[in-house]
Structure 1
């Protein structure tokens, strides 16, 4: 999977958040958008996948040399981000099974197997609204890592995770990102120490 940005720009009212972005992202590699809070990292991520419209330029997606339309790209993407809401009324097991209807899991993993991988089996019947922020983040990350999709997008991935959760995150990165395109938004170096492709959003102001 390849994503290409050509002279991409995003403007809110009269302010350019970023402009003249020319980048290419390829499967099998990881990329990290860095910059201070409010610099536009999350905005670039959302424009990149079509959640937010761009103001100028072009975003193109190709898979095995064949162009993928914007209407179909969502099938190729999984995302974990603090601003994405979970259905609070669902139990953990219901939340996993609901997600699975839209994005199947890798290697025919079952919902109960995923519970074990998330280390959350004892909480399978607990409502998401009663989860801690760290447990919710682990669920979001787990759904992203274990879904069958060639593109993984992670925004502030260790947000609300303790030291044990952060170690679990790095283990999942090692296990589940080979032969996939990984893009991270972060201003925490420990979240992307493995990544050699760093994009500083301030270079496109």
Structure 2
């Protein structure tokens, strides 16, 4: 199978001693890959390093075979991402937000923007100001922006964080649908075990800056455990006993 994302021995440490060490995993075409861990475990640090927003001390990141350090533009050419915040111009319409964002890409037509708004179920609200949107609608608009580049890989940092039940279900179903119908590969971070279990096909778990596993099939985990939460807690407890 084709590797879309390769992370090898990644390390990024901050002056306070926090950060991540020896992070390695592969994401393959068609995966909805969950990156699970508590707040402060290092999820965002890894994501920023993948996107070239962090200068990591050691290790290697490749996207679609291109090295993020030496082939930056080629590596990120087919990547969409939402990391930390889903910002938009609230005084503007959804459509105009995407029109401005589309200037960063070549060959984006007005019909492409309409198609993407349709994908994220916002086409009927395209002319409304973003200030009138719910948090879930703003998250879907951010996802629409990430889809403008017609990406093969989409990286999402806590995409359901703060959403109500309806917004969470809409975002979850949208990701599953895009992966199935558009063949987009997703790399998704979350601290919510249940959401990763429902949304993702594979999971890697990070705890205190280190990986517990490098990407197991969730279906295989559930053959051995009643739930992903049971597996997660079992692995955490094993490491506590060792330390």
1:45 offset after TM fit, Å?
A: 0.9
Distance 1:200 1:112 in 2: 37
1:142 alignment partner in structure 2: 144
Distance 1:133 1:194 in 2: 20
2:202 alignment partner in structure 1: 197
1:146 offset after TM fit, Å?
A: 6.6
Residues 45 and 139 (structure 1), Cα distance of their counterparts in 2 relative to 1, 3 Å cut? same
**TM-score between both structures, scaled by the size of structure 1:** 0.82
Of 47, 55, 58 in structure 1, the residue corresponding to residue 57 of structure 2 is 55
Q: Which has the higher contact order (CA 8 A, sep 6+)?
A: 1
1:186 alignment partner in structure 2: 190
Distance 1:200 1:28 in 2: 19
Distance 2:116 2:64 in 1: 30
Residues 118 and 2 (structure 1), Cα distance of their counterparts in 2 relative to 1, 3 Å cut? closer
1:146-188 superposed Cα distances (whole Å, 9 cap, x missing partner)? 7511011111111233222222222222221143321000011
Gaps of 5+ in 2: 212-243
Query: Helix, strand or coil: the match of 1:148?
Result: coil
> Is 1:18–1:201's contact at 8 Å kept on the other side of the alignment?
no
Of 155, 159, 169 in structure 2, the residue corresponding to residue 157 of structure 1 is 159
Larger-gyration structure (1/2): 2
1:41 alignment partner in structure 2: 43
1:25-69 superposed Cα distances (whole Å, 9 cap, x missing partner)? 221212111111111111111111212111212212334xx7671
Q: Cα RMSD over matched residues?
A: 2.9
1:116 offset after TM fit, Å?
A: 4.2
1:177 alignment partner in structure 2: 179
Bigger mean CA offset, 37-46 vs 118-127: 118-127
> Is 1:104–1:148's contact at 8 Å kept on the other side of the alignment?
no
**TM-score between both structures, scaled by the size of structure 2:** 0.70
Corresponding pairs, count: 202
Distance 2:190 2:107 in 1: 26
